[in-house]
């Protein structure tokens, strides 16, 4: 999740502090999630996904295109 979270956050218009504030967590906690030293609860992961305009699936696993690369139809 950490790499995906960082990639999604960088693509968006919000700073780490803004994402954290909108998700109802502190910036240091957000930074720990992003760096992989903390794992968010499901409810926090949902709030982060909503704040970043994506899904929990995307944060944890990448989008469907990335998940299906190399998979034969």
Tokens of 3: 């790499």
Burial 3-13 (b: 16+ CB within 10 A, else e): ebbeebbeeee
Q: Under CATH, which number does the domain 2-61 receive?
A: 1.10.260.40
Tell if the pTM clears 0.75, that is, is over it. yes
Which residue ranges make up each domain of the chain?
Answer: 2-61
pLDDT tens, N- to C-terminus, the chain (73 residues): 666 788 887 788 889 999 999 999 999 999 999 888 999 999 999 999 999 999 988 887 776 545 455 544 4
62: Cα within 13 Å, side-chain hemisphere: 7
Tokens of 52: 């970043």
Q: Is 22 within 8 Å of 51 (Cβ atoms)?
A: yes
């Amino acid at each position: 999740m950490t790499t995906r979270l960082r990639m999604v956050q960088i693509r968006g218009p919000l700073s780490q502090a803004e994402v954290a504030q909108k998700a109802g967590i502190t910036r240091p906690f957000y930074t720990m999630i992003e760096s992989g030293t903390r794992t968010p609860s499901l409810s926090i992961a949902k709030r982060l996904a909503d704040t970043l305009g994506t899904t929990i699936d995307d944060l944890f696993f990448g989008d469907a295109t990335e998940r299906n690369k190399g998979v034969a139809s």
